[in-house]
Amino acid sequence: MEQILANGLYLGAQYALIALGLTLIFSLMNVLNFAHGQMYVFGGFVTYTVVAQWGLPFIVGLIASAVILAIMGALIEFLLFRPVIRKSKRDESTMLLAAGIAFFLDAVILLLFGEKQRGVPKIVNGIFNWDMRLIMPYDRILIGVLAIAMIAGFIALMQYTKAGRAMRALAQDRMAAQLMGVDVDRYSMIGFALGALLAGLVGGLLVTITGINLGMGGPTSVKAFIMIMIGGAGVISGAIAGGFILGMMESIGLTVLAVYGDITYLAIFASLMVFLALRPQGLMGKPWG
Amino acid sequence: MLRRTFMKTTALAAVASFAMIGTAFAENPILKIGFVGVTSGPAAAWGTSNQRSMETRAAWINETGGYDIGGTKYDIEIVSFDDQKDPKRAIAGMEQMAQAGIHYVVGPNVDDGAAAVRPVAEQNGIIYFPYAFPKELYTAPASNAVLGMIANYQSGPAIYKHLMENNGVKKVAFVAANESDPLSQRDGGVAAATALGLEVVSDSVTYQVDTTDFTPVLLPVVQAAPDLLVLSGVSPANAPQLIRSARELGYTGLISTETAQDAAVLQEGAGELANGFISVGGASTPELASDMMREFVDRYTKMFGEYNDESNTKVYALEYILATMAANPAAMTDVEAFKVTMDTFEAPNPFMVGDAKLKYVGTSSFGQKRQVSVPLVVNVFNNGAFETMFVAQVD
């Protein structure tokens, strides 16, 4: 049981960090960013290039992933989403744009980084073993702690900084925030950049554990959408809750249901359908949006 | 006058140059050979090594004057299509080959893709060389598919038997991705292990290919304490993560797979934790390799910056296609002539030392000759490179 809980917490921390960026962008701009998984993959490849190819320290790779993805996010918002949102009132326009960006990023990743699975050496060696009841490699513990620290840092940023307050105001009521003097364009761009930065950071963190390859973008986006559906789209605390719930469900399912084959995600999807039928707005979302 | 003469001379020289260039380009007719396989995503290493092997060999042939078929030298052009491991795209790729008038295609790399393209290949007169194991593709009435490697039901029993005899393996566990290829390979492996008298302690654990943490997946398998953990049909992307998780959970037994792997990917993803990992390797060893194989490896490495051991097998398909056409030039456009030639075809194997032959095999497994003959090389990974564990032959 201890092992199941630890696996669930570790998975939950990384999932929550992935979902945070997605839900932030949705809450600020009402955009479902289908390219979130590709941004995660891009971040992983940047860290791989800096650490494994150039031989620089892991922290440099992580910072490079964060900076490059933040710039990419800001440019995508400024050059693509802003004009589309200005000209079109239909939600499908931004959804199609996001899907197009996902395909485009897939092609860019293939050209820049190739098609192979890549990984970087372990950043910490050794394994924590508590009497064979709980086994956890130190690098996973470190990545889990870093992910939780980043989530805490993100919450603090949203709670106690001027930019965070402005973004929360935007998320609550765009029109009212504008009337109160919030620069909507500026904070939309900052929000998108922050969402992309989070995706890049998770990619950079996880490349040390899972490695990275071109095909990981789509499934990552799907999992991120599951998390925000569970927690409630556009709600920060909901994304965190959704991440930890999915991580725990996956950990328990893979252990308890292992004898029946790979039915963990079948069970998760079935539960999600029932859950959404009863509570379509998710755990913490509001029925009115 | 002088000016006019100069212009005339220049124009004449230009026309003559173009004519010469045209003659040079038109020197050899082009023979197109197709490739439809996976070159992106988690299994990209499988298809990439196919495509790169074909491109390396084609460039080499073209550089040395072309391939002689029926007294005519042909330049070889490789037409490639990435099916992304998606059967629907594999069908589209094979249709594209048919539209281009191509009769010989290497690939696809996986079971469902190879099964999906069968009707297109049969309707359009295409012989294809899959790296996929379903027996019905190679057994009559099917006749257009030729297995390009050793199948898991041929290599698996050889590996288990070797490990039983040399390492005292008694208990075995199987883990597979929840996809058609790995699941069918797991079932084949379980049947082979049971037939050899091994105790199968776990065979129901499967995983999603996009799993990011294999610790919970492997926990029940490691708790079953097998002597040998078989990663059935594992893709090069998942292998290092699975090995790493198993070792981190304290598993100290043997780990093997019947699929080919990439040493660079294993080293990057699992490092020294992958030491001792057993996999089916490319069909060559330093002892078996001829000068031509060594030159192929050298050219491939120069062309693409790195070599994949699996290309020792993947180099063969194009060679078999061309050598069979050379044996019967009518096969260039008539695949029925190719099929007839396959039954008696035999040529020197340029990639192996000694008197090894290129010939079609598979009668024992499929009842007809629908498999290329390549040596079965089983490797063990150690410190970033593969070492030969043993070599065997399939008839």
Domains in chain B (CATH in brackets) are 30-149+285-373 (3.40.50.2300), 152-259 (3.40.50.2300)
Say if the Cβ atoms of B178 and A262 lie within 8 Å: yes
Burial string for B79-113 (b: 16+ CB within 10 Å, else e) reads bbbbbbbbbebbbbbbbebbeeebbbbbbbbbbbb
pLDDT in tens, A93-128: 888 999 999 989 988 988 888 777 888 888 888 888
Residues of A in contact with B220 (CB under 8 A): 255, 258-259
> Is-contact B187 B133, C-beta < 8 A?
no
Statement: residue B22 has pLDDT above 60: no
pLDDT at B23: 45
Residues of B in contact with A52 (CB under 8 A): 268
A244 vs B: CB within 8 A: no
Substitution target in A1, A141, A209, A210 with the highest count of B β-carbons within 10 Å is A210
Sign of the C-alpha dihedral computed for residues B256, B258, B260 and B265 taken in this order = negative
What is the rounded CA–CA span in Å between residue A49 and residue B101? 41
pLDDT in tens, B314-325: 999 999 999 999
CB neighbours of residue A164 within 10 Å: 19
Say if the Cβ atoms of A122 and B271 lie within 8 Å: yes
Average pLDDT over residues B24-32: 78
Say if the Cβ atoms of B210 and A216 lie within 8 Å: yes
Q: Cis check for the bond before B108: say yes or no (omega within 30 of 0).
A: yes
Whether the complex's predicted ipTM is more than 0.85 is answered with no
pLDDT at B17: 53
Q: Residue B243: closest CA among chain A residues belongs to which residue?
A: A210
Say if the Cβ atoms of B42 and A135 lie within 8 Å: no
As given in the structure block, the two tokens for residue A69 are 């993805």
Residues of A in contact with B206 (CB under 8 A): 261-262
pLDDT at A131: 76
In angstroms, what separates the C-alpha of A185 from chain B's closest C-alpha? 36
What is the rounded CA–CA span in Å between residue B91 and residue B118? 9
Substitution target in A7, A110, A117, A257 with the highest count of B β-carbons within 10 Å is A117
Statement: residue B286 has pLDDT above 70: yes
pLDDT confidence tier of residue B10, bands split at 50, 70 and 90: low
| Interface residues from chain B to A (CB-CB < 8 Å) | 39-42, 44-45, 48, 178, 204-208, 210, 212-213, 215-217, 219-220, 236-237, 240-241, 248-250, 262, 264-265, 268-269, 271
What is the rounded CA–CA span in Å between residue B233 and residue B249? 22
Give this prediction's pTM. Answer: 0.74
Q: Residue B269: closest CA among chain A residues belongs to which residue?
A: A119
> Is-contact B371 B361, C-beta < 8 A?
yes
- Which range among A105-109, A230-234, A241-245, B115-119 shows the weakest confidence by mean pLDDT? A230-234
As given in the structure block, the two tokens for residue B270 are 């699992």
As given in the structure block, the two tokens for residue A92 are 């499908």
A138 vs B: CB within 8 A: no
